Chains A and B, each alone.
Chain A
Amino acid sequence: MRIDPGFNALTAPLPEVEEAQAGIQKYDVEVVAVTKKFGDTTAVDNVSLRIPVASYCCLLGPSGCGKTTMLRMLAGHEFVTDGDILIRNKNVTNESALNRGTSMMFQSYALFPHLSVIDNVAFSLKLKKVAKAERHARAMDYLKLVQMETMAHRMPSQLSGGQQQRVALARSLITRPRVLLLDEPLSALDPFLRVLMRTELKRIQRELGITFVHVTHSQEEALALSDVMVVMDHGQIQQAGPAREVFESPANSFVARFIGGHNVISMEGRTVAVRADRCRIAEGIGGRQLAAEVVGSEYQGPVVRLNLKCEANGDLSALIPDARFFSDPPKVGDKVTMSWLAEDEAALPAA
């Protein structure tokens, strides 16, 4: 994706970004022992998290894990029951949503239905009493950033979901937030658009050099986007770290199961996670072995996913390269031996 040459309003870095590059500022977001209770239920339980400057952070977890509540607390749309939230070294725990330097993109996009696209984007400038010509010119810059400049004068109801989302993104970015908060931004799009928008979000984050905090329940999305990946469950952080670190050494069996692509195996008194693509069938590669029964297979193009059942460990799967799979395809009901190397195991605390 190219950037229009006349695109100065955007590329001029925020003073804070320069500060950060000079090494003064290390974290965009710091969450310190934050708890959120709704009546008797605890939505977020004593969570601490640091998100480095200008990084893409994904909050990943099943529904009800507290990820959206976490995001809404960062935005200031939800009060914190206990703990502190810092945005760029400033304690904003009790600040209103106005003064936090954050901007939120809503799951439903929440474009104002009575305003055209360009007026939606220029809304925050109108509130600041910026003259009409100037605010429209600046809104146009941001519409170009999200490649929606040709639709500037349409009404939101005339746009597709993907287009509405781009407009919502432009409307958030024009406030020049230090941290952009995205609440399941891709969940309403069809799978093809989802992948396209994902690339787009990452590009915009990189170009603007700000932090994105992105809530999702899609493992694939989190792996593809994250500099920092935060896996949550039951209001607590199960694991936080670079995406690759989380995938290669999941901290516990919940993380291993939730991010997918792993088999959680208990044998000989210990629990380990083994990536499904490192598991083989009837190939005596040495190391560990487990007897299992084939219950089905799914063709996925470059690999075939073989679904297995094993009495002690329940459902397992192995990702077999297609050529190898089709040279001797196992049938449903076959008894096979699944094997993997000891070095491919990631030890887990006993479940």
Chain B
Amino acid sequence: MSRRRRSTSFYVLSFIFLLFVLFLYGPMFCVYLLSFQGPTGGMSFPMRGFSLTWYQTLFEGGRGVGDLGNAFWRSMRLCVIVAVLSSLIAVAAGLAYRRRFFGSNAVFYTAIMSMVVPGIFVGFGIALALSLFGIKSDWWYSGVGAQLTWSLPFGLLIMFIVLGRFNPAYEEAATDLGATPRQRFLYVILPIILPGVIGITMAGFTSSYDESARSALNMGTGNTMPMELTALLGAATTPAMFAVGTLTTLFMFTLVIGTLLIIGRIARRRQVRLNAATA
């Protein structure tokens, strides 16, 4: 293989890319590093020694930690509900959209619109409407609803892409081989679109976890994680915040890697079956 000389643009673009990577990950690494700040250290460099003091503060509920523990569990509860609801509704809606129906365009644009409208106004609007009817907001309906205005259209768009590549002949073949609509969905459609469905669940989960613009006004009593963090960061804070950041990152990584492992295992199980048979 002969090696061609790289052009100047290669180096210029590489440099820009490097800057981008630094800009993206540099601050995050500062946060991770500062979370190990010594007991006498503050919110910025220099590091005054290394310790796990701030993690301890976080778990023992010391100064500047507020109600984070409860906020975390409130967020988790919400994430799971939003993730499950958005994948269920997105799959159902995606399947419905494979055929034209009366008003399909109107429904589609209405759903997509809520992605375009600034989130804070969506949240404000919901809060306003509820108070107009004299209903008190609470996390399990107005909170979930406000978050769905974001994660649902997102899930629907993913579903359109997944089903756009789905060959309708698979369904016809299944019918031809004697499948009832239920069997057709369970044995053919769902297994083929499963990676996409897992993707929607993950997107729903993560978008719920850090969404506050739409839902802050509609949560009723008790803050979620992003709301609690915003409040804490506004007040005088300690490096315990950085510990939260580090743990959150770890948590999300675990989630992503876990998902990839599940998808990988599905693929591997097929591979194993194959090897066992050819051996």
Contact = CB atoms under 8 A, between A and B. Distances in A.
A349 B177 CA distance: 45
B157 interface: no
A124 B178 contact: yes
Interface stretch (A44-52, A102-110, A264-272): A102-110
Contact of A97 (B169, B172, B270, B273): B172
22 contacts: A77-B175, A98-B178, A98-B180, A103-B177, A104-B172, A104-B173, A106-B169, A106-B173, A108-B167, A110-B169, A110-B172, A114-B191, A116-B270, A116-B277, A123-B187, A126-B187, A127-B187, A128-B178, A154-B278, A175-B176, A175-B177, A175-B178
Interface size class of chain A, counting residues whose CB lies under 8 Å from the partner chain: 20 to 34
B274 A127 contact: no
B166 to A, nearest CB: 10
A124 B177 CA distance: 5
In the complex, which of the residues B175, B178, B192 has the most CB atoms of chain A within 10 Å of its own CB atom?
B178
B170 interface: yes
A187 interface: no
A90 interface: no
A98 B181 CA distance: 11
Contact of A116 (B170, B176, B274): B274
A112 interface: yes
A106 B170 CA distance: 9
Nearest to B169: A110
Nearest to A98: B178
B183 interface: yes
A28 to B, nearest CB: 17
A124 B270 CA distance: 20
Contacts of B187: 123, 126-127
B270 A114 contact: yes
B112 interface: no
Contact of B188 (A97, A102, A112, A171): A112
B167 A110 contact: yes
B71 interface: no
Contact of A153 (B169, B175, B178, B273): B273
B179 interface: yes
Given A153-B277, A153-B278, A75 B176 contact: yes
Interface string A111-147: 0111010000001101110000000000000000000
Contacts of A98: 175, 178, 180
B2 to A, nearest CB: 34
Interface size class of chain B, counting residues whose CB lies under 8 Å from the partner chain: 20 to 34
Contacts of A128: 178
Given A97-B172, A108-B169, 18 more contacts: A77-B175, A98-B180, A103-B177, A106-B169, A106-B173, A107-B169, A110-B170, A110-B172, A112-B174, A112-B188, A116-B273, A116-B277, A127-B183, A153-B276, A155-B274, A171-B173, A171-B177, A175-B176
A112 B176 contact: no
Contacts of A114: 191-192, 270
Nearest to B274: A153
In the complex, which of the residues B173, B188, B270 has the most CB atoms of chain A within 10 Å of its own CB atom?
B173
A96 interface: yes
Contacts of B191: 112, 114
A169 to B, nearest CB: 12
Nearest to B190: A114
A77 B172 contact: yes
B59 to A, nearest CB: 44
A104 B176 contact: yes
Interface string A142-180: 000000000011110000000000000001100100000
Nearest to B188: A112
Contacts of A77: 172, 175-176
A-B CB proximity, top 4 nearest: A153-B277, A110-B169, A124-B177, A110-B173
A171 B179 CA distance: 13
A128 B179 CA distance: 9
Contacts of A124: 177-178
Contacts of B170: 110, 112
Contacts of B276: 153
In the complex, which of the residues A98, A114, A152 has the most CB atoms of chain B within 10 Å of its own CB atom?
A114
A112 to B, nearest CB: 6
A107 B167 CA distance: 12
Contacts of B192: 112-114
Contacts of A97: 172, 175-176
